Structures are given as C-alpha cells and as structure tokens.
Amino acid sequence: MTIKMTTIDTMPDSVRIPVYRREDHGVGIVHIGLGAFHKAHQAVYTDDALSKTGGDWRIVGVSLRSDAPSDELRPQNGLYTLIERDAAGSRARVIGAIAAAHCLKTDRKAVEAALLSAETRIVSITVTEKGYGLDRATGGVDPAHPAIAHDLKLPSDAQGLAGLLVWALGQRRALGRAPFTVLCCDNLPENGVVLRGLLVDFARRAAPDLADHIVHGVAFPSTMVDRITPAATQDTRDLAEQMTGYRDEAAIETEGFHQWVIEDHFPTGRPNWEAGGAIFASDVRPYENMKLRMLNGAHSMLAYVGFAAGHHFVRDVMADPDLSRLVTRHLSAAAATLAPLPGVDFAAYADQLTERFCNPHLAHATYQIAMDGSEKMPQRIFSAIPDARASGGDTRAFAFATAAWLRHLSQSTHDCAPYELRDPRADELRTMTQDRDAPEIVRAVRAASFVPRDVSQDAAFWDAVQSILHEMLTRPMSEVISVEVA
Ligand code: CS2
C-alpha cells in the first residue's frame, strides 16, 4: 500500500532525516520561487543550519503564479525528499526547513502576513532570470513586462516580484518594522545590486517616498548559487518511493555537488549557513563571473548545439566526443576571460564541471537549459567577449555559442523535430529569425536591447557568428560540429 509522506516516523535508516524538532523552530525567511532549485539549494543549507545550531529560521515558501508547489508540499507539512545522485550513488534525505507553502494567486493573505511578520528577517528569491522584469539597458524595470505593467498601476494585488517587495517594504515601514534583507539567488551577475536597482526604479515610478528607504535602509547581499537540479519527473517520485517507502509528490533529485558564496551583509541576522558549507566573502563578483561564464556559459552552448544534434540530456552531449571537445574549448575560453581568483584554479574547476556534466544519473534536459536564452546569453556569453578582446583572447567559442542560440531561435527543423521556442521574448525573436538567412538574423539580433552596446559594435565577432550560423542553417549540426573540432 502506498504511504503518503505526511510524517517521517518510519523512515528506513538509510534515509537522513531532520535531527531537530521542527515545531521548536519559528519562521525567519520567506522564500519567493518555490521551485526545484530552492528545494535543492537554499532550503538544504537552512536544514543544515537548523540541524547544527538551531534558530528560528524555517522558511515560508511562496510561488507567485503556479499553485502546484504549494499543493504538493502542504499535505506533506512542507516535508520532501531530496535525492542526491552522482558517481558515489544515490542518497535520500528528508528536508524539514520548509514550514509552510503558499501561492500568491490563491493564498494572498497568507503571503502578505508572512512578508509583514516581525519574525521575517530575510526574503530570498529564485524566480529565474525572466521573473524580475529587468530592462538590461537601463538596469531598471521593463515597463513592458506583464507583471511590472500591471503593478506600476499600484493595484492592491501586486503580481510581480518588484511590486510585491516594494509594497511589503512600504507596509513594514508604516508598521514600524525593520525591513527584511533581500537575498537574490538567481544566476545574475551582482544579483543583489541588480535587484536593488530594480526595486529602487520601481519605487521611483510607483511610490517615490519609498525609494530612499530602499537605498539606505534595505540590505541586498549578492550571492553565487550552484547546484545542477533538473526538473523533477515521475521517475524522481518513483525513485523517492523506492528509497524511502513514502509517496512524495514534492520529491526532487539533484547532484551531490553544491556551492553557495554569499556577501555577508545581513543587518537583521541570518542562519548559520556555514553549517551546510556556504562561503561568506566580501566580494562575490569573481565567483559569479566564474560560474556564469564557465558553468552556465558552457551549459547554454552545449544545450543549443546538443539539442540541435539530437541529444536530449546533458550526459548524452558529454558522451559525444566532438561535442565534449567543444565543451572543453568553451570552458577554457571562458576561464581565459576571468581575473585571477585567489585559491581557485580555473583548470581544476573546468575539470570538475566536466565531471558534473557527465553525471550519468542526472537526466538534465538540453531543452530545459535552452529556454529563456535572451535572459541568459548576456551574462553567460556576451559579458565575456569584451574581456576576451581586452586580453587578446579568442572569441571563436563565444561566436559558436551565439550562432547555436540563433539557430535555436530560428526553429529551423531541417535536421530535427519541430519544437516550441520558450523565451519571454519569443514573438520578437521569431520575427527576427524565422525564415531569414544568416545576415538578416545577425543584423536584427545584434541591434536588440539585450545585446550590450560594446558587443553589438564588435564587427569581427558578428562576422564570425554569421558565417557559423550560415553553416548551421544549411548543414546538419553534426557536420558543423565535426568541422568545428577538426
Ligand atoms: C542551467 C542552470 O538551466 C540552466 O540554464 O544552466 O540552471 C544550472 O544548472 C545551474 O545554474 C547550476 O547551478
């Protein structure tokens, strides 16, 4: 008989369970973006902190739109299984850090209460790059982003992140409560600075008296977050049931590796995340650049090239010797653009990434990584190009990655099955790329708002992109890859 995961009273000994009494610990964090990544990363660090040093740091998880995450977690009292999978095997662990789960759309009152509670000292966020409504060119809000457009009218039901946080910070000030620390955990460079700029711009437009309060009174530490976490599937839930004996609708799987580098600026306190291995640094930018350009840059390149070459998962891409050489090339080209980081050997980091990408137990879909490219390419690929130029380095690897992205946007199916283009700018990108040749595509995309001005002006770079793209649009990807590595 299937036992649903509502308690963990009879877990097998092989499954690690929380060693703390959950009910003894209050809530200190509201987390917005209750997806697999949060459950595999910040919630696990918090679980470790609670196990080791306790504190009132349990988490109220919030999703802005979908009620699936809260519907899965609520009947399980916030408990869920985390399965770590790598060469050392598969290990199951139950995480107890999530105290409650809500969806803004359906449980607005509960979300508002959590954001305004005097006990809430940190609001952490993983809404993915596209969730912010950020205008890359200005660093402020994009008034065309649907949630921003709605929230700038100052409705009583803010839908987007900026509107909700500015509203909550304003209410807290009116109630005489200290502001919470805002902790961005998405893959954006200087993510704390970016989020502060976004909220200040939103406030200037919608609630000007709050802008100074946000600039001077609210802390926005930056962070580098890392753990490869594929979307959970039926296989994940079946594996969790096999390993624990419980049916867990909220189970997730991830790799063994995890990393979190955080700027230590928490005026209202924080959990002892060091217990889970978090590193506190005065400047996280070098770590962010390393991770964004090496891990995420190589990920995007291999996803676009691999998907077009017929590989469903990252592990399949890595099993293809030519593609794996392209990954190695990309990693070393990206490493060459980085300022030295004391104590970190980029070559060793690249080897570790290769091993992580090869993880045979993780079914990480290339199509998943390929989505939202217009939100990912700037920090993963474009940001490296001026640095490569400045150091006299080669930009071929970045041109190849860019061409592969453009080919993906064109939805050319001469050598693969039709697929849906998933990107918040899908309509605009389709107009720029579909049924067009390489020069037309390059001309249109080069001038787009999400391409930084210095990259847009790099004629030699775009010449290379155009000639690679021409090959990609006229020959099967497998042939283009063979020629590229020859
Ligand atoms: C991936 C990331 O989907 C993607 O774009 O590159 O989610 C990646 O797996 C994580 O950043 C790893 O920490």
Q: Model confidence over 216-239: pLDDT tens digits?
A: 999 999 999 999 999 999 999 999
Q: Which residues contact 446 (CB under 8 A, 6 or more apart)?
A: 456, 462
* Residue in 397, 484, 402, 408 with CA at minimum distance from that of residue 442: 402
- The tens digit of pLDDT for each residue in 68-113 reads 999 999 999 999 999 999 999 999 999 999 999 999 999 999 999 9
What single-letter amino acid sits at 475? R
What single-letter amino acid sits at 215? V
- The tens digit of pLDDT for each residue in 464-485 reads 999 999 999 999 999 999 999 9
Q: Same structural domain for residues 136 and 263?
A: yes
Ligand 1 center to 318 CA (angstroms): 16
Q: Same structural domain for residues 195 and 316?
A: no
Q: Which two tokens stand for residue 361?
A: 């137990």
Q: Which two tokens stand for residue 181?
A: 């620390």
104 to 34, 70, 454: CA distances (angstroms): 11, 10, 40
The stretch 6-30 carries a mean pLDDT of 92
Q: What is the pLDDT of residue 6?
A: 78
User: Nearest residue CA, atom 1 of ligand 1?
Assistant: 369
Handedness of CA 446, 447, 452, 454 (dihedral sign): positive
Q: Looking at 281, 300, 319, which one is the last position of a domain?
A: 281
- The tens digit of pLDDT for each residue in 324-362 reads 999 999 999 999 999 999 999 999 999 999 999 999 999
Q: Same structural domain for residues 331 and 194?
A: no
Ligand 1 center to 376 CA (angstroms): 10
Q: Same structural domain for residues 251 and 394?
A: no
| pLDDT value at 44 more than 80 | yes
Ligand 1 center to 369 CA (angstroms): 7
Ligand 1 center to 364 CA (angstroms): 10
- Number of domains forming the structure of the chain: 2
* Residue in 118, 29, 131 with CA at minimum distance from that of residue 371: 131
Q: What is the pLDDT of residue 1?
A: 55
- Whether ligand 1 lies within 6 angstroms of the CB of 130 is answered as no
The stretch 381-409 carries a mean pLDDT of 97
What mean pLDDT value characterizes the chain?
A: 96
How crowded is residue 147: how many other Cβ atoms within 10 Å of its Cβ?
Answer: 22
The stretch 371-388 carries a mean pLDDT of 98
The stretch 192-208 carries a mean pLDDT of 97
> Which of 296, 318, 372 most suits a substitution to test ligand 1, by most atoms within 8 Å of the C-beta?
296
Ligand 1 atom having least distance to the Cα of 368 = 3
- Whether ligand 1 lies within 6 angstroms of the CB of 129 is answered as no
Q: How much is the CA Rg of the chain, to the nearest whole Å? A: 22
* CATH at residue 289: 1.10.1040.10
- Whether ligand 1 lies within 6 angstroms of the CB of 299 is answered as yes
pLDDT band at 155 (very low <50, low <70, confident <90, very high): confident
User: Nearest residue CA, atom 12 of ligand 1?
Assistant: 228
| pLDDT value at 449 more than 70 | yes
Q: Same structural domain for residues 210 and 330?
A: no
Q: Same structural domain for residues 263 and 320?
A: no
> Which of 226, 227, 369, 371 most suits a substitution to test ligand 1, by most atoms within 8 Å of the C-beta?
369
Q: Which two tokens stand for residue 434?
A: 């579909």
Q: Same structural domain for residues 276 and 290?
A: no
Angle subtended by helix axes 161-175 and 108-116, to nearest 10: 50
Q: Looking at 233, 258, 281, which one is the last position of a domain?
A: 281
Q: Which two tokens stand for residue 325?
A: 């050489």
Show the domain range for 223.
3-281
Ligand 1 center to 439 CA (angstroms): 30
Q: What is the pLDDT of residue 417?
A: 79
E strands of 149-251, at which residues?
181-184, 223-226, 246-247
Question: What is the separation of C-alpha 358 from the centre of its chain, rounded to a whole number of angstroms?
Answer: 20
* 190 close to 230: Cβ distance less than 8 angstroms: no
Q: Same structural domain for residues 387 and 434?
A: yes
- The tens digit of pLDDT for each residue in 238-283 reads 999 999 999 999 999 999 999 999 999 999 999 999 999 999 999 9
> Which of 42, 127, 129, 187 most suits a substitution to test ligand 1, by most atoms within 8 Å of the C-beta?
187
Between CA 324 and CA 403 the distance in angstroms is 18
Q: Same structural domain for residues 353 and 406?
A: yes
Q: Which two tokens stand for residue 129?
A: 């790059």
β-bridge mates for residue 134, sequence order: 141
Least confident of 143-157, 191-205, 272-286: 143-157
Q: What is the pLDDT of residue 177?
A: 98
Q: Which two tokens stand for residue 61?
A: 């998880």
- Whether ligand 1 lies within 6 angstroms of the CB of 366 is answered as no
- Whether ligand 1 lies within 6 angstroms of the CB of 296 is answered as yes
* 114 close to 29: Cβ distance less than 8 angstroms: no
Q: Same structural domain for residues 208 and 315?
A: no
Q: What is the pLDDT of residue 10?
A: 84
- pTM greater than the 0.75 cutoff: yes
* Residue in 24, 29, 22, 25 with CA at minimum distance from that of residue 6: 22
Q: Same structural domain for residues 162 and 198?
A: yes
* CATH at residue 56: 3.40.50.720
